[in-house]
Amino acid sequence: MFTIAVKILIEDRVKYIGLLIGIAFTAFLVTFAMSYFAGFMTRGFALVSENPSVDIWVMDRAVSSSEATINMSDAALNLVKSVQGVENAVPLYMQDMTARFPNGHFQAFQVIGVDDATLSGIPKIKSTRDASELLHIPGSVIVDSGGTSDKLQTPKYMKDSYPFDGPHLNAATRKLRFGDTLLINDKRIVVAGVSQTIPRFPPRPLIYTTLSNFKRLTPSQVKRLTFVMVKIKSGSNLHLIAQKIQKQTGLKALTSDDFKKQTVMWYLVNSEDVGDMVNMVVLAMLVGFGVTGVMLYMFTQDNLKYYALLKAMGASSKQLRVMIFTQVFMSALIGSGIGIGVCTLVGKLVANGDFPYRMMWFSPLFGLIGVLIVSITAGLISQHALKNVEAEMLFAS
């Protein structure tokens, strides 16, 4: 019976190919949507991921994400250091600032200030020189694209840098490099290096600098401290120390894994991109259901004479239904393989750019589940065509 079901399925090549295309489209869109979700979630907690040596993150109690923050008093750092079990605690300062380029263009940056002594939080840079050496140049910074394109452009020619006759906004540009200068709050900063850290979501250019330089750029700020990055003593219980910090300081203390999870939950609740992903999945399911349902019903309807013949030869209604679902699962398996395979190839292309794409283990699983839901529903509908199949249909005029 299984062999007959397969032969009936592949007999009409045009309908069979159309069925596979519909299923593959469903698998592709669902898998792509889940990979997009994983990609922007990974970029959403990039700040945590690029600091793997940090055990505990301390922040204001209202903060639930590394992307939506509010600053604390500098006194919080000493409070955290006083907690038993804390080996080391360093500050991390973050603020959005606008930098003006030499030709007059301006660009918003997320500026990240790190401890002068340890430079904890500085990413790897594209230079043979050590980051500590570069950042101790007066007014120096490290810049990063943060997942953006063509945002770090400075004038190509000296005549277009800080011209006396006004901004040269249409001047030829090149990428920022060592020695270039920018202005933040009318204060000069010098590009000491370019890094290539984990892209952010949403994408935005980044500036890393020392705490002393950060304070120079924001003289009017009272509360600048965003996070305290904690390293616990060897052998200490991670969650127990986090609870102690919360109890003694009144601040929120989360392990790196817990902070990532909270950031993901924050995105699920607050990000419009989650809605876009859901819409993409719903669209994929609807299109897949339309194509798959129609094709399967047409297969069944066009081959009623074969089912009637099988019934005349003694096949039961249950056996005919099994044949339908044999066709369903065979098509679902092949179509899913095609769709997920295409998604993998497309993903490699978009991942090389700035698109937040990351295929994790659950992405193809959700793609397969989506296809199965669509295919099984379509199979149940197509069974209605078998309700009136009788052997007498062979002799009907």
pLDDT digits (tens, 9 = 90+) for 179-210: 999 999 999 999 998 988 888 888 899 999 99
Q: Which residues contact 242 (CB under 8 A, 6 or more apart)?
A: 56, 253, 254, 255, 258
Total number of domains constituting the chain: 2
Residue 278 to residue 33: CA distance in whole angstroms: 8
285 and 188 fall within a common domain: no
* Residue 234 token pair: 């060897």
User: Quick one: pLDDT band at residue 392, thresholds 50, 70, 90?
Assistant: low
**For the whole model, what pTM was predicted?**
0.81
Residue 343 to residue 338: CA distance in whole angstroms: 9
223 and 103 fall within a common domain: yes
Q: Which residues contact 88 (CB under 8 A, 6 or more apart)?
A: 230, 231
- State how far Cα 198 lies from the chain centre: 11
**What are the percentages of helix, strand and coil residues in the chain, rounded to 5?**
50, 20, 30
82 and 141 fall within a common domain: yes
124 and 18 fall within a common domain: no
114 and 188 fall within a common domain: yes
227 and 299 fall within a common domain: no
Burial class (CB in 10 A: 0-12, 13-18, 19+), 75: exposed
Relative to beta strand 106-114, strand 140-144 is unpaired
> Of the given ranges (37-46, 161-170, 306-315), which has the lowest mean pLDDT?
306-315
286 and 242 fall within a common domain: no
Domain assignment of residue 294, yes or no: yes
Domain hosting residue 9, numbered range: 2-43+272-395
What does each C-alpha distance from 292 to 24, 26, 373 come to in angstroms? 10, 10, 11
**For residue 310, pLDDT beyond 50:** yes
101 and 243 fall within a common domain: yes
359 and 290 fall within a common domain: yes
* Residue 61 token pair: 């109690």
280 and 315 fall within a common domain: yes
Residue 186 to residue 183: CA distance in whole angstroms: 5
| Residue at token pair 């469903």 | 26
Q: Which residue has the higher pLDDT, 296 or 385?
A: 296
pLDDT score for 388: 64
18 and 89 fall within a common domain: no
* 8 Å CB contact between 121 and 114: yes
